[in-house]
Amino acid sequence: MDINNRISEIGVVPVIKLSNPERDAAPLAKALTAGGVPVAEVTFRAAGADTAIRLMKEACPDMLVGAGTVLTTEHVDKAIAAGAEFIVTPGFDPELCAYCAEKEIAIYPGCTTPTDYHAALKFGLKVLKFFPAEQSGGLAKIKAMSAPFPMFKVMPTGGISLKNLKEYLSCPVICACGGSYMVTADLIENGKWDEITDLCKKSCEIVKEARNG
């Protein structure tokens, strides 16, 4: 199964910032996997993101781990060396899209305008990150954008929570939703692994309801 399909099957992608990867990466990976969410976008917003990716993969080898907030080719190289399987960028950067194609790693660029979508089309991309989702028009804009660009599936991130997850996932254009509600700083810093697992389980229930309803 390719990465797009694996992400779509899971339905939610935790967006993670780890300030202490040596302490937290392994137990976090296990907590997410135990909750039925064996995927993570580890952001380069914190130093040591590549370390976190490596440690999460070591703890849970079957987990799908990618790198987020990737801004440079150096970030891409570090992510790949650590074992990342996909790259997520906050905006659309043609240089990074070309570089990831060269390195044969999946990239999900942040796209919120017709210009972004049009540029992504030239790279043959199938799934786009829509960021920041709520602040950029949310589901209404995603649906409007799908009219001229029906070939794309979308992964909205930004402002997603348990409250609006079902609404987003009920839309056939949505591949999966990115979110940090199940991996907040409080939950991670205080080692609330059981709470993270519970939030993942609740998310999985909503994914099933949205997809089957």
Catalytic residue among 30, 122, 129, 209: 129
Angle at 63 between CA 160 and CA 90, to 5 degrees: 40
**Residue 10, Cβ neighbours under 10 Å: how many?**
20
**Residue 190, Cβ neighbours under 10 Å: how many?**
10
Helices 21-34, 193-212: axis angle to 10 degrees equals 40
Contact 14, 48 (CB under 8 A): no
Both ends of the chain: CA-CA distance in Å? 24
- Is 41 catalytic? The answer is yes
User: Residue 63 gets which letter from DSSP?
Assistant: S
Catalytic residue among 9, 22, 41, 58: 41
User: Residue 113 gets which letter from DSSP?
Assistant: S
Strand duo 39-43 + 64-68: pairing: parallel
User: Residue 124 gets which letter from DSSP?
Assistant: T
| Alpha-carbon dihedral 135, 141, 142, 147, rounded to 10 degrees | -160
Catalytic residue annotation: 41, 129
